[in-house]
Amino acid sequence: MTTVDDVTHPARTGPATRVAAPRPRWRRHAGSVVKYAVLALGAALMILPFADMFVGALRGPADVYANPPRYLPSDPQWGVYARVFRELPMTTWFANSVIVTCIITACQVATSTMAGYALAKYRFAGASPLFRLVVGAQMFPFFLFIIPIFFILRFAPLMGGNDIAGQGGAGLLGTYAALCLPFVVTWYGVFLMRQFFLGIPDDLLEAARLDGASEYRIFRSIMLPLVKPAIATLTLFSFVYHWNEFIWTMTVTRAAPDLQTLPVGIYLLSGAFQTLDQKSLQQAALAVSILPVIVVFLMLQRLFVASNFASGVK
């Protein structure tokens, strides 16, 4: 029962409530300042090697041998980037890299989305063992299969001058097919797309089927737009990996220099770069070779971040 004394002295009914004093403004912003300072430092450390590569190509002999050392060149040699295309077969290497990387990336995105969708949304005999195969295959690196794949392409029947028994010619070696076929399917891509398709409710598919949509229409018009962030992530990973792929490309193109890509071409010419001027030329070639990767990342950055955010929310 509430008494008159309780009404006039409400503090007696419970402990006194203390009102916290407002924090100073500098304390409220100190955490944000520290956070952005750490992020800026991390960004600087990540950018520094790339900046050194671009700036290093501009250094002349006086800058390299200066004491104390100079980071920024006093007389930038801007002409070194034009010399790259004039003195090296950069156009051929660049075109080969673009053709091979774009073909492989397109094939991997197509096969991964279709296979991932089938494993996530269809129930058929062998689906579970097939998914286990997809997961288990990721444990084996590609270089374990280089020799078997090489001989399969070398002795492909009726290809490259071979007869029905696979003898007499070079098979598919020395062609774009040899550079692209081993990478048409990626186990990681199938697994990635399956996991994203699993996050889409099956009710959307059932509603589309009730409306009379075909399976192809459901896949193209409903499923693919919902997994755009995953497609962008797979595209970025595939493009970066195969733009820099070296071992298989070098194995296949040793007898076909016209098919060499940027990483292989720059590596094979590295032994010829002995003088300081030639070292600058090599750095300029490396700087030019990473520009497409930067452009692709900037184009897909928004969807790539959305993919990471969606994964974290799940």
Query: What tokens were used for 261?
Result: 């890509």
pLDDT score for 25: 65
CA–CA dist 286, 280 (Å, integer): 10
Task: Reduce the secondary structure of 131-191 to three states and give it as a string.
Answer: HHHHHHHCCCCHHHHHHHHHHHHHCCCCCCCCCCCCCCCCCCCCCHHHHHHHHCCCHHHHH
Query: In this structure, how many other beta carbons lie within 10 angstroms of the beta carbon of residue 238?
Result: 22
55-102: pLDDT as tens digits: 877 877 777 677 777 777 777 778 888 888 888 888 899 999 999 999
Question: Is residue 313 over pLDDT 50?
Answer: no
Domain boundaries, the chain: 29-78, 88-313
Cα(128)–Cα(65) distance, rounded to whole angstroms?
63
Of the chain, the percentage scoring pLDDT greater than 90 comes to 23
Q: How far apart are CA 252 and CA 248, in angstroms?
A: 6
pLDDT tens string 180-220: 999 999 999 999 999 999 988 888 889 988 888 888 999 99
> What's the CA gap between 311 and 291, in Å, rounded?
29
* CA-closest candidate to residue 245, choices 257, 220, 262: 262
Q: Give the Cα separation of 206 and 229 in Å (integer).
A: 23
The CATH superfamily label for domain 88-313 reads: MetI-like (1.10.3720.10)
Comparing 227 with 1, the larger pLDDT belongs to 227
The structure's pTM equals 0.80
CB 243 within 8 Å of CB 293: yes
Q: Quick one: 171 exposed, middle or buried, by C-beta within 10 A (0-12, 13-18, 19+)?
A: buried
* pLDDT at res. 242: 93
Cα separation of 120 and 193, whole Å?
Answer: 9
Residue 95 three-state SS? helix
The residue ranking higher by pLDDT, 273 or 48, is: 48
Contact 189, 108 (CB under 8 A): yes
Around 264, how many Cα atoms within 13 Å sit in the side-chain half-sphere?
A: 25
Q: Six-digit token pair at 169? A: 């010619």
Residues 6+ apart with CB under 8 A from 193: 112, 113, 115, 116, 117, 120, 227, 230, 231, 234
- The 10s digit of each residue's pLDDT in 89-131 is 888 999 999 999 999 999 999 999 999 999 999 988 888 888 8
| Dihedral Cα 22, 27, 31, 34, nearest 10 deg | 170
